[in-house]
Amino acid sequence: MNYQDFTKNIIEADDIVIFSHVNPDGDTLGSMIALYHVIKNNYGKEAVMVVTGEIPDIYEFLPEIDKAVTFDKISKDKVFSLAIAIDIAAKDRMGMGVSIFDRAKVKMNIDHHKTNNGFGDYSLIIPDACSAGEILFDMFENLGLKIDKAVSDSLYTSILTDTGGFRFENTSAKTFQIASKLVEYGTHAGEIARYCFESKPKPMVLLQANALMNAEFLENQKIAYTCITMSDMEHFQAKEDYTEGIVGALRQIKTTEVAAVLKEVNEQTTKVSLRSKHVDVSKIAAAFDGGGHAFAAGCTIQKPVKIAKDKLVEEIKRYL
Ligand code: 5GP
Ligand code: MN
């Protein structure tokens, strides 16, 4: 799609719904909120925001995120004029809300995952963009749309979190140029960084410490992994998002090439997060019908955690 298609579809729409992805992160939430405010302030339209799963506490500062709803709050036969998927690598990442997306008259897909297959009627997939927020910034600027502080803070959150604080390989000259412009638009960089990185709930940090203590290392310490069970989650009274950041901590170890966190969702389901320094882990995730980026990917394996671990390790070894 080109940028004018965005404007045309917003103007023609009677009602608009925006979808973020399951296990929402700073990019999908920041981008969704930025879209919400841009649509409201530039086109005078109120969009419905859909979240799947709990919004991590740290993102409660995003302006008007409390307006976001879960898909079950939308009537079953509702047909929206326009549905926008933001930062959604694959349709199943919308969770149960996907049926609402599918029913919409016009479907738009804005994303930066290279594994995105371009689902929808209009897709804007830019794998070189560090975040969905970066794609939106370019589009808003190009269309001459008003970027107020709410939009600026939200896009900055997207970019800051998806680049791991401007540290990951996806951080480009352009990323810094956009960040610089957002600060000029009124965002306080230090304030957003404090919300995103230094406002963790205490049990989250303790769960992380426990998971790191239980980590295992294979193949000359090139593989670092840990399993988080349902009983660990219960012990630390952890919310779903409390496992965020553990896989990144395993990658911090000098010898680590591939880091993995296996999370027991139930007796038969294991959610896997993968991070690496050189290996393309999106290929490993794809072997289990998952996807993502070269150095950050994920998948869900329909096996008990111990069996999933063996299968995953076997697959990782093929890429070392
Ligand atoms: P995380 O480990 O933070 O859950 O996910 C890392 C990256 O992989 C994210 O960019 C996310 O979009 C992608 N990802 C995680 N799980 C899946 C999955 O099950 N399917 C696909 N296609 N992508 C995933
Ligand atoms: Mn993203």
The residue contributing the CA closest to ligand 1 atom 22 is 291
CA of 243 to the centre of ligand 2 (A): 17
In this predicted structure, what is the pLDDT of residue 242?
96
CA of 271 to the centre of ligand 1 (A): 10
pLDDT tens digits along 217-272 = 999 999 999 999 999 999 999 999 999 999 999 999 999 999 999 999 999 999 99
From the CA of 87, give the closest atom in ligand 1: 12
Which of the ligands is closest to the CA of residue 247? 1
From the CA of 289, give the closest atom in ligand 1: 20
Give the angle subtended at the CA of 75 by the CAs of 69 and 81, to the nearest 5°: 85
In this predicted structure, what is the pLDDT of residue 160?
98
Q: Position of tokens 């093929």?
A: 318
Partners of 276 in the β-ladder: 258
In this predicted structure, what is the pLDDT of residue 76?
86
- Average model confidence (pLDDT) across the chain: 97
CA of 101 to the centre of ligand 1 (A): 20
The average pLDDT across 122-133 equals 98
In this predicted structure, what is the pLDDT of residue 41?
97
The average pLDDT across 180-209 equals 97
CA of 28 to the centre of ligand 2 (A): 6
The residue contributing the CA closest to ligand 1 atom 16 is 298
CB 250 within 8 A of CB 261: yes
The residue contributing the CA closest to ligand 1 atom 13 is 292
Which of the ligands is closest to the CA of residue 117? 1
Question: Which residues have C-beta within 8 Å of that of residue 206, sequence separation ≥ 6?
Answer: 236
CB environment 107-142: b (16+ within 10 A), e (fewer): bbbbbbbbbbeebbebbbbbeebbbbbbbbbbbbee
CA of 235 to the centre of ligand 1 (A): 26
293 or 144, which is more confident?
Answer: 144
In this predicted structure, what is the pLDDT of residue 56?
96
Fold of the 3-197 domain: inorganic pyrophosphatase (n-terminal core) (3.90.1640)
Which of the ligands is closest to the CA of residue 293? 1
The residue contributing the CA closest to ligand 1 atom 15 is 298
Q: Mutation test of ligand 1: which of 299, 302, 312 has the most ligand atoms closer than 8 Å to its C-beta? A: 299
From the CA of 244, give the closest atom in ligand 1: 3
Answer whether residue 164 shows pLDDT above 90. yes
CA of 240 to the centre of ligand 1 (A): 15
pLDDT tens digits along 279-302 = 999 999 999 999 998 999 999 999
pLDDT tens digits along 67-120 = 999 999 999 899 999 999 999 999 999 999 999 999 999 999 999 999 999 999
Q: In what order do the strands lie in the sheet with 216-218?
A: 216-218, 223-228, 258-266, 269-276, 296-301, 291-292
Answer whether residue 134 shows pLDDT above 90. yes
What residue ranges do the domains of the chain occupy?
3-197, 202-317
DSSP state of 163: T
Provide the phi-psi class of 63: left if phi over 0, else alpha when psi is between -120 and 50, else beta: beta
pTM above 0.75, yes or no: yes
In this predicted structure, what is the pLDDT of residue 258?
98
- Of all residues in the chain, the percent with pLDDT exceeding 70 is 100
Fold of the 202-317 domain: Diaminopimelate Epimerase; Chain A, domain 1 (3.10.310)
From the CA of 88, give the closest atom in ligand 1: 12
CA of 170 to the centre of ligand 2 (A): 11
pLDDT tens digits along 27-59 = 999 999 999 999 999 999 999 999 999 999 999
The average pLDDT across 128-141 equals 98
How would residue 207 be classed by pLDDT, with cut points 50, 70 and 90?
very high
Handedness of CA 258, 192, 71, 110 (dihedral sign): negative
The residue contributing the CA closest to ligand 1 atom 7 is 297
Which of the ligands is closest to the CA of residue 287? 1
